[in-house]
Chain A
């Protein structure tokens, strides 16, 4: 043993020097700093599939917003040309020349289907994001209050029971007839009662967490309700809210498609309107592209949004951060 110490070539003092003891230093935790959102993204990007899908989503959104501003799209430009209507991709390219506009053929009034679907995607994505933002904000805020206060709960349950039984289609069609069926009317119609479902969902979640033991303890220690809401409950809700957002945003695109199909959509040529307008083309040989391309693009957008949202929701659950 002593030989080994001698081998180190150190003096006796150096080997056993007392270390300064600092009280402040001992309080510090040596574990790496934990940042919630950094961990969320670390977990999210750990899965390579997520990177691919997020890339696809970003590409689609950027394309939907940038492409229509770069090309001039006039759906009625070829209206008077009888040879330009309902062309298959190959026929359209033979007729108009080889460029990107015609790779999906031409529609009922000779418009390039490719331009039409991206224009439609832009409208549909905007609608979904705006409605999602409004409904989620109002829904989460109202839901939090709803879950916390027993008086508000009794009142809001009545409202929910009544409003929930008024058919949404009726409200939307009444509003669409009251005002003209523009983009903003549609936003109004989808948000005027849309928030209540989200608020109800949040209310249930708040009630589940509200009465947990740690909140009871916190209340006994004298924490204010606002602080309990912000510090104890909100962090728990983040993953729930993100997961909900993931189902909500695509659902507006789907719902818009549905409304357009039953003839209650908006006047703008959104994806839903394109599908509605091209329904007859589905069964006509050679015209299928007109119908299936907006259907396909709507499906791809909604699936990508949903997958990204779900995985982000999973990643925002702190239990996965280990």
Chain B
């Protein structure tokens, strides 16, 4: 197998579902139909085209650009309250976007970057900073990684989160300098403690402005040359003893920052580091020596040339290796994969943001609470390292425990049962009609439903058991055909629905449904 060669064949249904599971939050029946016969590259290019999302609005339909951070006369307490509500609003708005299958790729990628350049909304407080940070991420998500690193370094929310704004010539603060190397570009072991100190010195003088300033809507960052360490900075042999000359003047900070990033990128680990991290996001957790040599390294070599993100992800997700059968089901669904994937597979779209605002808020609020319980709340990673399953021992297994399995099962139970107050309402009969070629044949029905929901192939014994025990509970198979025909021909729904609903609930609690 040529690991990095492009997988050129038109995708079989299982390949297509695999691509949609990994590149986005999973397939919808409509997507599977619409993309039949396309190649991986064609589909990737379609997925990557999603337009920029609309701005989040509050319940009066106002965007953050319309709102100051509380009028000057607003009491401190009121301002805090407003901020808390609006930060939750940003998160809910993002969850709403994830429910849209056409945005799946963009949102999963945004999530990757939010988990790479972590900030925690709790620490940031001022919602304008939070939102601006998300804009920085979205703008750069498929752009150039050098530009991205520079933009995020100067991003006012990041300047606050990792104390860059407090990092001055007189009182250096190492926090951002360390994470820039350890978490954002290189990984542990490729820099020294003195490199941390020198990087912090390069970064002195950048400041976030108008944090929680109620008198202006303008938030930004700026470079203050008076707070910048204008002496030269000397790095270790990890960077060939590079010296970054101290600069004065308004452009000094930007010049030194550019040189710092370029210097970090001279390290061969810098390209590998990001490729590995994307691999753990889109492929699987463990990276064998074989994968390192045959996949990571060649991807890193080409990425190193221009640091362009889009071609890198495109090459990775359309490679022969990506479609290797040994990787099918090679992830456990993250809570967001699970939640969004379930909604999308069951074709239960979010209520309209404009027309059904009450339901939309109720649903996204409910989902936000669920992600919090499952410990994958967006913009609230437990530490600057991001969510543990993407770096820690055991990888995705960390998501799974008795509690989280229970919470997952509870969500899918609710989905099938329906919850009108949230706009959750799956009609299982029209759902199976939407993807089933012949739902009257119980074996065809179950096999096709399995194909839509599961990342791995079933055995015949499993299918038989599902048909005879779980769906039909001992009655002969032809009786299902009669039940289905009664529904199809005469509109008698009850028998069919009474068998189908518990069956779908059961399928969604199977261990195999946790695989991605």
Please determine whether chains A and B interact with each other in the same assembly. no
